[in-house]
Amino acid sequence: MTEHFDALETRDPGQRERDLMARLAAQIGHAKSAPYFAESLRHVDAAAVTSRAALAALPLLRKHELIALQKVARPFGGLAATPRTALARVYASPGPIYEPEGRGADPWRLARALFAAGFRAGDLIHNSFSYHMTPAAWMLEAAAKTLGCTVFPAGTGQSEQQVAAMADLLPDGYVGTPSFLRILLEKADTLGIATTSLKKALVSGEAFLPPVREALAARGIKCFQVYATADLGTIAYESAAGEGLIVDEDIIVEIVRPGSGDPVEEGEVGEVVVTTFNSDYPLIRFATGDMSATLPGASPCGRTNMRIKGWLGRADQTTKVRGMFVHPEQIQAVARRHSEIRRARLVVTNPDAGDVMTLRCEGSGGEGVALAVAESLRELTKLRGEVVFVASLPRDGKVIEDARDYGTGTT
Amino acid sequence: MTEHFDALETRDPGQRERDLMARLAAQIGHAKSAPYFAESLRHVDAAAVTSRAALAALPLLRKHELIALQKVARPFGGLAATPRTALARVYASPGPIYEPEGRGADPWRLARALFAAGFRAGDLIHNSFSYHMTPAAWMLEAAAKTLGCTVFPAGTGQSEQQVAAMADLLPDGYVGTPSFLRILLEKADTLGIATTSLKKALVSGEAFLPPVREALAARGIKCFQVYATADLGTIAYESAAGEGLIVDEDIIVEIVRPGSGDPVEEGEVGEVVVTTFNSDYPLIRFATGDMSATLPGASPCGRTNMRIKGWLGRADQTTKVRGMFVHPEQIQAVARRHSEIRRARLVVTNPDAGDVMTLRCEGSGGEGVALAVAESLRELTKLRGEVVFVASLPRDGKVIEDARDYGTGTT
């Protein structure tokens, strides 16, 4: 029988949706107490944002914008709703991007993911994320406290001492990157130290490929992924069912077409956009830059929330064509100008050593429409390109496909 | 007007002593719930330990013994009173020595020291102790939470990023080693970054010499020391009065003659021995290996507790004489055998390239006594030595004085 962290996980999906939408208006209103959202949502009536459609009409906030916003208004770009003096901690991620942490018990909501990975009260956790500057280790720290686990704050590096501590302390589980876990296990092998106490792991921070998972399983360690970011905390997590990642209960996830804020169709690849209910750092439609897609159906583990497929690439498909930057936003702008286009995809090739752009449009348009679209394309990108109408485009989230041959094909 | 962390600090000294002694019997009884003390104190009636004299009759536990005790009984050598599964964290200090941390709010009692250093609710603390494996950073972390400060967990290393974070976040104060603070300030100078937000610091972990304190004061940073260890937490801390270190309110400090558990006279140098009221890790008469001495009088800051002079060397004066180890315990054993000896000090010289031992005894004894003492010395150390009676020995805590010339004097 599957255990669950709480009753929220097994809610009727319709009930969950009603619960989330019922909380949304208040959170939008709360976000507007932060200067950034006071400005970006100044024309938005918070009380009216009670549906996914209303949410989808709000502007996105892209992760890469944080650097510039924070430069102008230290430290949080006007995005924090809690005064700095009332925070528990401040983190610095590469960029630099600073993240505020409030004084709540599990502000990044990792406890649910840790529970789904099999961790329980009394377990000793060997935490190999870094506690210095960046928040990953701290997210797990708060989760461990919430579950009632004991933590050995191992941190990064010092692999020989970490293995020695494992041998002496006999941790039940590991949290950290999967690659560092492999480094520790190989070091243990070299030193002739058994690590058989380790039975489970919650991993994050990098791709977790099936061969790595299998190699760890062969050593008796059941590994589960959590998809979390420094700004948002948990987005989705794996359960023993082994089917995709289950979305966290306290956020709203949208999958949108890269370069736009428009939700894609069910199952289509797009950018992960998250709205949190974090009261200290209320991010509204935060575009992660990661691509994923929903996985249809319900998890056999009994958790009823939306599932996603995990990381399917970076959403920022900006590329350079004949020395000029082309952004997905520009391609979406071309598509929006012409009602004949349902979906567009710019394919860049270099058949004869020179860059060639072809805008493939899903929909139906005659020669006149194609010429008009080509004109829009030139106007918005300052580059000429061919326009072709096709019956259907793949649902892979690609708005710009770089199909150039960078190898021997250009000689 | 001086502010105080709580009313305990300004208690009438007699009242404090009665308060501490009233708590002692219960703590001894509690310690006996841990296997180590159940054995070491098996003949002790906990209820009768209600005075310093009764406490001084209990055995010492020396820090260096922890390594061997923990090897036999992982992880805490039978010294923890809380099961591992109910702890918040486990740390590893060099040795290795593992330390248990309970789930209390400020288990290492650093909040009092942080307050005395001028830190207040809402301050942003740049914490440059390491959070990885060892407990120092965590001790400050719990203290900061208790006071209501915000922490930037900087950790060690990455000095350039630390300075950049200082420039962006404008911390009010620093905690860490004084030498790393100097490294950060020099790096800031090199990069042309102002660090004028920094006004105070709580430093620990190494000697803090007057020129360093003055150099930091000249940059507008008021620095205060806390004397704390990984096993005990705060032992004593500085206040704005600038006179020695004030003993923490929740421990009992004794200064004993090195090699014995006997309290020295008021003001005499000796080893710092601490008894804590920590319920998770109840250390009874824990001999730190550090030497200090009480400072007579009361602090002008209004805190009425006993003051100590700070670190005055290591208590372990074990040395090698003619290839044989001689321990302070052996010298104390010689002194105890002869009632004519009030105090003894072994002086080792090498006048003619060979080691010579002279036991200088404070007291009065004729030639017959001196011969008997020399016989005891030979029996207990397996080494011959001269015995001299003198009227008085210096009160500097030295039981073994290595006065050998290791330079050019031996040719």
Is B150 within 8 Å of A90 when comparing Cβ atoms?
yes
| Cα–Cα distance for residue pair B311/A160, rounded to 1 Å | 32
End-to-end CA distance of chain B: 62
Name the residue of chain A whose CA is nearest to B131's CA. Answer: A131
Q: How far is A310 from chain B (nearest CA, A)?
A: 30
Residue A123 Cα, gap to closest chain B Cα (Å): 7
Rounded Cα distance, B121 and B146, in Å: 9
Contact B233, B250 (CB under 8 A): no
Phi, psi of B315 (to 5 degrees): -80, -25
pLDDT at residue A324, as a whole number: 87
Question: Could you tell me what percentage of chain B is helix, strand and coil, using 3-state DSSP and rounding each to the nearest 5?
Answer: 30, 25, 45
Q: How many residues does chain B have?
A: 411
DSSP B10: G
Using the beta-carbon criterion (under 8 Å), do A165 and B133 form an inter-chain contact?
yes
Instruction: Say which residue, B367 or A15, is predicted with more confidence.
Output: A15
Query: In this complex, do B164 and A96 lie within 8 Å of one another by their Cβ atoms?
Result: yes
Establish if A383 touches chain B: CB-CB under 8 angstroms: no
| Per-residue pLDDT at B172 | 98
Upstream peptide bond of A96 is cis (omega within 30 degrees of 0): yes
Closest chain B residue to A73 measured between Cα atoms?
B168
- Chain B touched by A152 (CB under 8 Å): yes
Asked if residue A409 has pLDDT above 60, the reply is no
Q: Each residue of A338-394: pLDDT tens digit?
A: 999 999 999 999 998 889 999 999 998 889 999 999 999 999 999 999 999 999 999
- For A152, nearest residue in chain B (alpha carbons): B90
Q: Which of A75, A155, A170 sits opposite B169 (nearest CB)?
A: A75
- Which tokens in the block code for residue A221? 């360690």
A122 vs B contacts (CB less than 8 Å):
85-86
Report the distance separating Cα B116 and Cα B173, nearest Å: 13
B153 and A170 within 8 Å at the Cβ level: the answer is no
With beta carbons less than 8 A apart as the criterion, state whether A329 and A346 touch.
Answer: no
Residues of B in contact with A86 (CB under 8 A): 122, 150
Closest CA to A133 of A70, A96, A91: A91
Cβ of residue B36 closer than 8 Å to a chain A Cβ? no
Alpha carbons within 13 A on the beta-carbon side of A143: 29
- Whether residue A278 contacts residue A230, with contact meaning beta carbons closer than 8 Å, is answered with no
Q: Mind spelling out the 3-state secondary structure of B317-348?
A: CCEEECCEEECHHHHHHHHHHCCCEEEEEEEE
Residue of chain A with shortest Cα separation from B157 = A132
A91 within 8 A of A134, measured Cβ to Cβ: yes
Query: SS in 3 state form for A87-126?
Result: CCEEEEECCCEEEEECCCCCCCCCHHHHHHCCCCCCCEEE
Helix boundaries (H) for A120-206: 136-147, 159-169, 178-191
Q: Report the sign of the C-alpha dihedral through residues A28, A33, A36, A38, in that order.
A: positive
- Under the banding of pLDDT at 50, 70 and 90, the label for residue A408 is low
Find how far residue B69's CA is from the centre of its chain.
20
Q: Which of A68-72, A404-408, B215-219 has the lowest mean pLDDT?
A: A404-408
Contact residues for B174 (Cβ-Cβ < 8 A; gap 6+): B125, B126, B128, B181, B184, B198, B200, B201, B202, B203, B221
Q: CB within 8 A of B405, min separation 6: which ones?
A: B349, B350
Q: Where are the alpha helices (DSSP H) in B264-395?
A: 328-337, 367-381
Considering only CA atoms, which of B210, B200, B207 is closest in space to residue B240? Answer: B200
What is the mean predicted confidence (pLDDT) over A248-276? 96
Query: Which among A213, A215, A237 is positioned nearest to A226, based on CA atoms?
Result: A237
Note which residues in 120-149 of chain B have CB less than 8 A from chain A: 121-124, 130-133, 137-138, 145
Q: Residue A173: in which H helix or E strand, if any?
A: strand A173-176
Tokens of A103: 């004084």
Task: Say yes or no for a CB contact (<8 Å) between B133 and A154.
Answer: yes
Residue A5, classified by CB atoms within 10 Å of its CB into exposed (0-12), middle (13-18) or buried (19+), is middle
Question: Which residue from A86, A91, A155 is facing B133, i.e. has the nearest CB?
Answer: A155
3-class DSSP state of A69: helix
Tokens of A222: 């059941």
**What is the residue whose two structure tokens read 């610091």?**
B201
Task: For chain A, report the end-to-end CA distance as a whole number of angstroms.
Answer: 62
The answer to whether B151 contacts A89, with C-beta atoms less than 8 Å apart, is: yes
pLDDT value, residue A406: 80
Residue A7 buriedness (CB in 10 A; 0-12 / 13-18 / 19+): exposed
User: Which of A70, A88, A153 is facing B132, going by the closest CB pair?
Assistant: A153
Alpha carbon distance B20, B26 (integer Å): 11
Question: Burial letters for B90-111: b for 16+ Cβ neighbours within 10 Å, e otherwise?
Answer: bbbbeebbbbbbbeeebbbbbb
Q: Measuring CA to CA, how many Å separate B275 from each of A327, B31, B32, B55, B365? A: 67, 11, 14, 9, 37
The half-sphere exposure of A135 on its side-chain side, counting CA atoms within 13 A, is 28
Whether the CB of A43 is below 8 Å from some CB of chain B: the reply is no
Which residues does chain B have within 8 Å of residue A132's beta carbon, measured at their own beta carbons?
130-132, 153-158
Question: Measured on CA atoms in the order A390, A394, A398, A404, is the torsion positive or negative?
Answer: negative
Within 222-281 of B, beta carbons closer than 8 Å to A belong to none
CA A293 to chain centre: 11
- Contact (Cβ atoms closer than 8 angstroms) between residue B244 and residue B307: yes
Å from A124 to nearest chain B CA? 7
**Pseudo-torsion of CA B74, B78, B84, B89, nearest 10°?**
-80
d(CA B143, CA B204): 14
A8/A20 Cα distance (integer angstroms): 11
**How much is the pLDDT for B408?**
53
Element (H, E) at A38: helix A35-40
pLDDT in the model for residue A230: 96
Residues near B71 by Cβ (< 8 Å), separated by ≥ 6?
none
Separation between Cα atoms, residue A131 and residue A139, nearest integer Å: 10
Q: For residues B34 and B41, what is the distance between their CA atoms, to the nearest angstrom?
A: 10
Place of tokens 């301050």: B123
- CA geometry: angle B358, B361, B365, nearest 5 deg: 115
pLDDT tens digits, one per residue of A114-158 = 999 999 999 999 999 999 999 999 999 999 999 999 999 999 989
Residue A188, number of CB atoms within 10 A of its CB: 22
Residue B89's closest chain A neighbor by CA?
Answer: A151
Per-residue pLDDT of chain B (411 residues; tens, 9 = 90+): 679 999 999 999 999 999 999 999 999 999 999 999 999 999 999 999 999 999 999 999 999 899 999 999 999 999 999 999 999 999 999 889 999 999 999 999 999 999 999 999 999 999 999 999 999 999 999 999 999 999 999 999 899 999 999 999 999 999 999 999 999 999 999 999 999 999 999 999 988 989 999 999 999 999 999 999 999 999 999 999 999 999 999 999 999 999 899 999 999 999 999 999 999 999 999 999 999 999 999 999 999 999 999 999 888 888 999 888 899 999 999 999 999 999 999 999 999 888 999 999 999 888 999 999 999 999 999 999 999 999 999 999 999 999 998 875 444
Cβ atoms of A410 and A350 closer than 8 Å: yes
At residue B353, the pLDDT reads 81
CB pairs under 8 A between A and B: 123
Structure tokens given for B272: 């710092």
Among B70, B89, B150, beta carbon nearest to A85:
B150
B159's tokens:
């000095």
How many H helices and E strands in chain B?
11, 21
Q: Are B229 and B110 in contact (CB under 8 A)?
A: no
